Amino acid sequence: MLSSVSSKVLDGTDLPSVLELLDRDPVANVFVASRVHLAGADPWRLGGELWGYFESGRLESLCYAGANLVPVEAGPEAIRSFADRARRQGRRCSSIVGPADAAANLWGLLEPAWGPARDVRPSQPLMVAARPSSAVAADPLVRRVRRDEIDIVMPACVAMFTEEVGVSPLVGDGGALYRARVAELVNSGRAFARIEDGRVVFKAEIGAVTPRACQIQGVWVAPDRRGEGLSETGMAAVLGYALREVAPVASLYVNSYNLPARAAYRRVGFAETGAFMSVLF
């Protein structure tokens, strides 16, 4: 007997099913799960839509459609449904991000309408740690950024974003939205840095957070201090904070070509468990 399939924009009544779906892989799904845990499933609170794909009345896949387009637990048929909806709506996102196979399939269907992309990163290893490595000592000078230090960390955050994404976060609104995001991380105690003489030499943040997993992002070392091992000792410190105070598992993803960073993260205690893909517009 053929299964009936359907799709729709999800809302608060779908929240239990959404949480159950996200829990299938709490590490890979941590970005979307963190937003849902914070804001629920209603679009007006979430800052985006959740598109659900159902088989025989059961939610099997979803796609977060906000500033990013993120497929979750999405097979080929669900991807086709999400691509159809995205084409009809038109591109509103600045990137497509997700597990490599799903993101590649989604981009393959959208590229004729949305392409060309500014940058495509087809393989970004997903790295996971449940315990810190004893091989690298945590930098005792890496600490939480205080609220009165936002102006000190902002230049480092802007430099990291520009290096990683290829455009400055100050373009458009002068950086107001980006500063608000940095302030949110600082105020929530999830921004960490080593600050010397009023200058950041290492920084990282714990971005997405759920009770089951968290994701470290924004790792950056001042260019004139690279090669000193600050990324390893700094990440060991941030990983320690993450596992002790935030969630039992920490993850991050990194560009495949960044071999020094991948090696440093492995020494700190991370292992590669999968891959993400990013398409930047």
**For residue range 87-107, what is the model confidence (pLDDT) as tens digits?**
999 999 999 999 999 999 999
- Could you report how far apart the first and last alpha carbons of the chain are, in Å? 42
- CB atoms < 10 A from the CB of 272, how many? 15
Q: What's the CA gap between 184 and 157, in Å, rounded?
A: 13
**pLDDT band for position 4 (50/70/90)?**
confident
Q: Is residue 267 located within the same domain as residue 163?
A: yes
Q: Is residue 189 located within the same domain as residue 96?
A: no
CATH number at residue 14: 3.40.630.30
Q: What's the CA gap between 35 and 46, in Å, rounded?
A: 7
pLDDT tens digit sequence for 15-72: 999 999 999 999 999 999 999 999 999 999 999 999 999 999 999 999 999 999 999 9
Global confidence as pTM = 0.93
Residue 122 forms part of a structural domain? no
pLDDT value for 1: 41
Share of the chain above pLDDT 70, in %: 99
pLDDT at residue 2 is higher than 60: no
Q: Are 88 and 81 in contact (CB under 8 A)?
A: no
pLDDT value for 228: 95
Domain count, the chain: 2
- CB atoms < 10 A from the CB of 134, how many? 8
Residue 175 forms part of a structural domain? yes
Q: What's the CA gap between 196 and 44, in Å, rounded?
A: 42
Q: Are 72 and 64 in contact (CB under 8 A)?
A: yes
Give me the chain's average pLDDT, please: 96
**Structural domain containing residue 71:** 5-116
pLDDT tens digit sequence for 149-179: 999 999 999 999 999 998 999 988 888 999 9
Q: What's the CA gap between 98 and 124, in Å, rounded?
A: 10
Q: What's the CA gap between 26 and 249, in Å, rounded?
A: 9
pLDDT value for 119: 96
Residue 133 forms part of a structural domain? no
Residue 281 forms part of a structural domain? no
pLDDT at residue 210 is higher than 80: yes
Dihedral of alpha carbons 115, 118, 122, 128, sign: negative
Q: Are 49 and 43 in contact (CB under 8 A)?
A: yes
Residue 135 forms part of a structural domain? no
Q: Is residue 165 located within the same domain as residue 218?
A: yes
Residue 190 forms part of a structural domain? yes
Q: Is residue 173 located within the same domain as residue 109?
A: no
What is the arithmetic mean of pLDDT over 206-235? 97
Q: Is residue 151 located within the same domain as residue 228?
A: yes
Q: Is residue 148 located within the same domain as residue 269?
A: yes
Query: Looking at the DSSP assignment, which residues form a beta bridge with residue 234?
Result: none
Residue 60 forms part of a structural domain? yes
- Residue 133: alpha-carbon gap to chain centroid: 23
Q: Is residue 183 located within the same domain as residue 67?
A: no
Q: Is residue 155 located within the same domain as residue 256?
A: yes
Q: Is residue 78 located within the same domain as residue 200?
A: no
Q: Is residue 102 located within the same domain as residue 207?
A: no
**pLDDT band for position 5 (50/70/90)?**
confident
